[in-house]
Every structure is written in C-alpha cells, then in structure tokens.
Amino acid sequence: MRKAKVDTNQEVIVQALRAAGATVQSLAAVGHGVPDLLVGFRNQTVLLEVKDGAKRPSQRRLTEDQIKWHGQWNGGVLAIVDSADSALRVLGVINES
C-alpha cells in the first residue's frame, strides 16, 4: 500500500475547516491525481487540492497526474488551496480581501 504524501499545512487546513462546521475526509492515500480533501459544507461537496504555501511556487505545481485528473473532473467545486484562509474562502466562510 502506498504511503499518503500529505503537505505540512494540511492538518491546519483540516482543523480550520472542521472549526467552521465542515466535514472533512482525507483522500491523500488514493493518489493518482485525486485531490487531497473531500469537504462537505452547507449541503455542498467540495474537493480541495492542498499545496504548501510556504514552499516556492515551483514546488507547489500540480503533478502530471493531478493535471490530468483535474482536467477530467466534471463534478462540483475543485479548488487548489495553500492555507486555511484560502480553504475558508472557497467555502465562503471568509471573503476575499
């Protein structure tokens, strides 16, 4: 079984989402380009790809598998986030600044 590669900021993002009332399931172990988090909030489902905002932009790029998976996604919201604030913005909990 493959070990899930989880960005260092993922736990902080998960905690912030849960504190806002979201349900969160990690999908990191699935791999193959599948986004990191499955989030339910106010009767909506959102997929979040977590990137570490502390890393250089070149280290935050999507992998080839992620590009392919994201490009084929025909469902609801799929967003790339790099912080708790960016994840909460996707949910509409906080507004754009």
The string of pLDDT tens digits covering residues 3-15 is 567 888 999 999 9
Is 69 part of any domain? yes
Is 41 part of any domain? yes
Q: What is the residue-averaged pLDDT of the chain?
A: 92
Tokens of 5: 């590669």
22 and 94 Cβ atoms separated by less than 8 Å: no
Tokens of 30: 């699935």
Domain containing residue 68: CATH number: 3.40.1350.10
Q: Domain of 52?
A: 10-91
Which whole number is the average pLDDT over 19-35? 96
The structural domain count of the chain equals: 1
CA distance 71 to 77: 13
Is 3 part of any domain? no
Does the structure show a pLDDT above 70 at 91? yes
Query: Percent of the chain beyond pLDDT 90?
Result: 78
Is 5 part of any domain? no
Higher pLDDT, 41 or 7: 41
Does the structure show a pLDDT above 70 at 1? no
Is 4 part of any domain? no
Which whole number is the average pLDDT over 29-34? 93
In this predicted structure, what is the pLDDT of residue 4?
A: 65
